[in-house]
Amino acid sequence: MMDNIFSSLPENLDEEAFDELLRSENVRIERIVSLGHASPPEGWYDQSENEWVVVLEGSGSILFENGTKVTLEKGDCLDIPSRVRHKVTWTDPDKPTIWLAVFYT
């Protein structure tokens, strides 16, 4: 069990790290750690859950299928409704980006 969101950061970030912090019937909370990672170019996230995300450290950009691009810096948050197709196009390559993602129905 993680007692501090900034503890136990992965040392090797060849791939993004996804840590589930909490799960209930209607809510799932994840910590995501990125370092220069992006979504695969050919795919989109198309989730059945709503997603509220906040950047705790670092920065990243999210592209929506309709062409809207949002860059999030430390402290910025965004609510993404279910079935709104999106992808991460960029995260800071020089320092870890720590996201807190709350998925809810």
Domain boundaries of the chain, sorted by first residue: 17-104
What is the rounded CA–CA span in Å between residue 50 and residue 41? 22
What is the rounded CA–CA span in Å between residue 29 and residue 14? 22
Question: What is the predicted pLDDT for the residue at 1?
Answer: 61
Q: What is the pTM of this model?
A: 0.92
pLDDT digits (tens, 9 = 90+) for 66-82: 999 999 999 999 999 99
The CA-atom distances, in angstroms, between 51 and each of 10, 54, 94 are: 23, 10, 26
Question: What is the predicted pLDDT for the residue at 59?
Answer: 98
pLDDT digits (tens, 9 = 90+) for 20-30: 999 999 999 99
Query: Which CATH number is correct for 17-104, 3.40.50.880, 2.30.30.30, 2.60.120.10, 3.90.1170.40?
Result: 2.60.120.10
What mean pLDDT is reported for the chain?
95
Greatest Cα pair distance, the chain, in angstroms, is 39
